[in-house]
Amino acid sequence: MACVVSVSSALAKPHILKSPDSNITVIVDGDKELNYSVKAADVELISPSRLGVVMRDRSMGNKVSTKYRSATFSDDWTQPWGENKHISCAYNELAVVQTSSAGEFITRFRAFDDGIAFRYEWDLKDKETIVIDDELTEFNLQSGSMTWSIPGSFESYEHEFRSLILDDVEDANTPFTLQTPQGIFASIHEAALYDYPEMTLCRTEADVLKAELAPLPDGVKAYVPSRFATPWRTVQIAADAVGLINSSMILNLNEPSKIADTSWIKPQKYVGIWWGMHLGTQTWTMGSRHGATTENAVKYIDFAAANNIQGVLFEGWNEGWENWGGNQHFDYSKPYDDFNMEYIAEYARNRGIELWAHNETGGNIPEYEAAMDSAFAYYHKLGIHTLKTGYAGGFKGGYYHHSQYGVQHYQRVVELAAKYGLMIDAHEPIKETGIRRTWPNMMTREGARGMEWNAWSAGNSADYLCILPFTRLLSGPMDYTPGIFDIDYSRAKADKGRLEWNGPNADCCIKTTLARQIANWVIIYSPLQMAADQIENYEGHPAFQFFRDFDADCDWSRALQGEIGKYIVVARRAGDKYFLGAGTNSEARTLEVSLDFLKPGVTYRADIYGDLPGSTNPEDLCVISKSVVSTDVLTVSMLPTGGQAVVFTQLE
């Protein structure tokens, strides 16, 4: 029998929580059940909505007393890397503390200038494991809101975004971004997801989206301790769409770093043996087209060393790929015979290049968990500091990827990796909820349709790329693996033709201009940023100077302009250099961008990588170098599916 905790409420009148700037208001109310509503600029954003979790066979009893604790918090903090290294954190808090003989149940609200959040915390006296059957949290939104999201799958985030009127949303994953008819922008997500299933959203009535947790195979949502705090349920709020991007609320809701010495954690640019396998011109398995060979490794390391690139990735370096398609089984410490790991690791060290490890698990979690300690020790011995993981396959035992089982596994990997000095780039991951603040070795992840979809599907449209920054990217870094220069794969096709690796998509190609591929290095933030094409497509290309100049270790970022699904303009600073990335959807667009983010009084050389006006060939490019100062306005002209990328270098 289910019992709704925090049902009874002795609230005499609604309790009000305001953001530090007083613009956002949370109203906590409730007669029988606690509910909350949210206003922004005095306009209702969330109408009274249900709260609570369903614990199996547990009750707070009848004699529940309720107290309301208010607090104010303000502090600045720094992180070893991130879109912004220095972050301001200021919020007001209201904790509704319900106490009975069974223990304590707290519903904690925080109001920031850039959104609101709440979570459930409990400390039950019996100390026994609690079975969570459901979460009652609802978001009662405004009728007619426009929304952007992917479907609510518990298995994968790799879906096309939908632009839907709220009425048409059946289920969705987060970040779930919306614009109310009154023009307010908001995005629903979660923060600090540990030891709990992910939250998706499911429409229960008219404008109400309810939290839907990924279940375990037995139908239970989670088994949690008697003392526990759920992830934060978050609603980022902004007056314009780019305001959502410029929010740091998700990070501010996470705990400070648990890694004391973070000096080994370093953002980096990387190249790797990867795209060829997706194109079908190379293979992960050993054979005549094997990508991860010693010979290719040396080439890629040399290329990285010559091009101001810090890291190299080689997928398909270890035994096990030949088992694909049946019972996945990998050996995480055994290189293929044609990949001389010891030699390659030493060669990379001698050239000052970070060699990456790669672990594709195929979803075989028990095997990976049994092997990973010795595997990580092996990588540590080789001087490896970066590990890309992959989970392309259903989990054994019928577990959903995004269930509590999955969340726990991914977290074990992060913590073990920290012990061995490994930074993590997770593919087929759990969505980012800001845990990178607490575990700054959790660098980046996939968690959306990345570049690979251009190799064997209808591909990612420029419209898709104009929704991504306002949805998936709100949650944190993405290893999209940007920057394909050979837009129609002409060289790959000419070299040797493609294997029939993944069906009939032999005619697919990149769906943007080349300039947009470059701009994506700036737009799609990742502390591990890949130049994803095969290096022969970069060699000798004048546009590759951008990636040489680019710095994955930025200090500051700001989304300057943007409309969801239409266009985006982002600026970042790294040291003395600034970078700008702009992209449009399927429509040509000209934007006027103020350069007032540059340091005043300094002359910069702007190297502007843009579309070639009038061209119909997406590989055509126009690079303009000219002097600019902070009072200048840059005219950004983009062709359909186009973009523009700029490096600003101090001249004086």
Q: Which is nearer to a copy of itself, 519 or 612 (CB)?
A: 612
Residue 461 or residue 649: which is nearer to a copy of itself going by CB?
649
Nearest CA to 48 out of 70, 69, 25 is that of 25
Residues 6+ apart with CB under 8 A from 69: 93, 94, 95, 97
Q: Residue 651 CB, nearest distance to a copy of itself (Å)?
A: 6
Residue type, 410: Y
Please tell me what DSSP assigns to residue 266.
Answer: -
48: exposed, middle or buried (Cβ count in 10 Å: 0-12, 13-18, 19+): middle
Cβ of residue 92: shortest distance to a copy of itself, in angstroms? 46
CA distances in angstroms from 330 to 104, 357, 380, listed in the order given: 46, 14, 19
d(CA 406, CA 365): 9
Sheet strands (E) in 509-576? 528-530, 556-563, 567-574
Least distance (Å) from a copy of itself to the CB of residue 541? 7
Q: Nearest approach, Cβ of 586 to a copy of itself (angstroms)?
A: 22
Q: Which two tokens stand for residue 414?
A: 């992060």
Between CA 156 and CA 315 the distance in angstroms is: 21
Indicate the DSSP class of residue 263.
Answer: T
Quote the least distance from Cβ 545 to a copy of itself, whole Å: 4
Task: Closer to a copy of itself by CB, 259 or 612: give it.
Answer: 612
CA atoms of 185 and 207, how far apart (whole Å): 16
Cβ distance to a copy of itself smaller for residue 412 or 491: 491
CA atoms within 13 A on the CB side of 493: 11
Closer residue to a copy of itself (CB): 379 or 546: 546
Minimum gap (Å) between residue 572 Cβ and a copy of itself: 16
Pairing between strand 442-445 and 423-426? parallel
For the bound state, the minimum distance from the C-beta of residue 548 to a copy of itself, rounded and expressed in Å, comes to 7
Q: For binding to a copy of itself (CB under 8 A), which residues are involved? A: 305-307, 490-491, 494, 514, 540-546, 548-549, 605, 607, 609, 612, 615, 617, 619-627, 647, 649, 651-652
User: What sign results for the dihedral spanned by CA atoms 548, 549, 555, 557?
Assistant: negative
Q: Which is nearer to a copy of itself, 453 or 485 (CB)?
A: 485
Residue 5 vs 608, nearer CB to a copy of itself: 608
CB of residue 120 vs a copy of itself: minimum separation in angstroms? 51
Least distance (Å) between residue 383 CB and a copy of itself: 22
Instruction: Tell me if 87 sits within 8 A of 251, measured CB to CB.
Output: yes
Q: For residues 74 and 109, give the distance between their C-alpha atoms in angstroms, rounded to a whole number.
A: 15
Question: Nearer to a copy of itself by C-beta: 161 or 347?
Answer: 347
Q: Which is nearer to a copy of itself, 514 or 591 (CB)?
A: 514
H helix count then E strand count, the chain:
12, 37
